[in-house]
Amino acid sequence: MPVGITPMKKMIRLSLLINIAVLVPVCWGLLVNATWAIDSYGAETAARGILLSMYGAILLVSMLLLFSRELMFVVPLLLVQVIYKLSTPFTVGSFSNPVVISNIAIAAVHIATLTMILRESRWSAQKLTVTGL
């Protein structure tokens, strides 16, 4: 068994750390109604509260997965994030909104992570088939 952390695990860790690094201040800003949060997400509304709830859930799951050995639980989290993040320019109606821009950048990292997971899992499945396991 190789010593050290694999490139795939590094990418998983990177994706989860990005989630945490971005969502801690975003959730805090939404909670305290910071000026920048109002500028970026609008006034305090029920919809913004729902968004905070979703962001909080992603933050919590990201923190738990960072310390989990069940790395495949990362796939659904990142996949849902990629879908919603790539759809935001269309739901917001702008590609120039700062939240949209950061969503697209984060989605790119998550896509790279998902691609590595997929390649690794296909390789492992192929190896199992070839060796008869």
Model confidence over 114-131: pLDDT tens digits? 999 999 887 665 554 545
What is the predicted pLDDT for the residue at 130?
46
Compute the average pLDDT of residues 101-123.
93
CA 12 – CA 7 distance, rounded (Å) = 9
- Does residue 117 belong to any structural domain of this protein? yes
Query: Residue 70 — pLDDT band, cuts 50, 70, 90?
Result: confident
- Does residue 38 belong to any structural domain of this protein? yes
Task: Between 119 and 70, name the one with better pLDDT.
Answer: 119
Query: Residue 72 — pLDDT band, cuts 50, 70, 90?
Result: confident
- Does residue 1 belong to any structural domain of this protein? no
- Does residue 89 belong to any structural domain of this protein? yes
- Does residue 77 belong to any structural domain of this protein? yes
Range of the domain at 45: 7-131
What is the predicted pLDDT for the residue at 5?
82
Compute the average pLDDT of residues 60-68.
94
CA 118 – CA 75 distance, rounded (Å) = 9
- Does residue 97 belong to any structural domain of this protein? yes
Asked whether the beta carbons of 27 and 54 are under 8 A apart, the reply is no
- Does residue 2 belong to any structural domain of this protein? no
114 token code pair: 């998902």
* Amino acid identity for residue 78 in this structure: L
What is the predicted pLDDT for the residue at 127?
54
Return left, alpha or beta for 132; rule: phi > 0 is left, psi -120 to 50 is alpha, else beta.
Answer: left
The total of structural domains in the chain comes to 1
Asked whether the beta carbons of 52 and 30 are under 8 A apart, the reply is yes
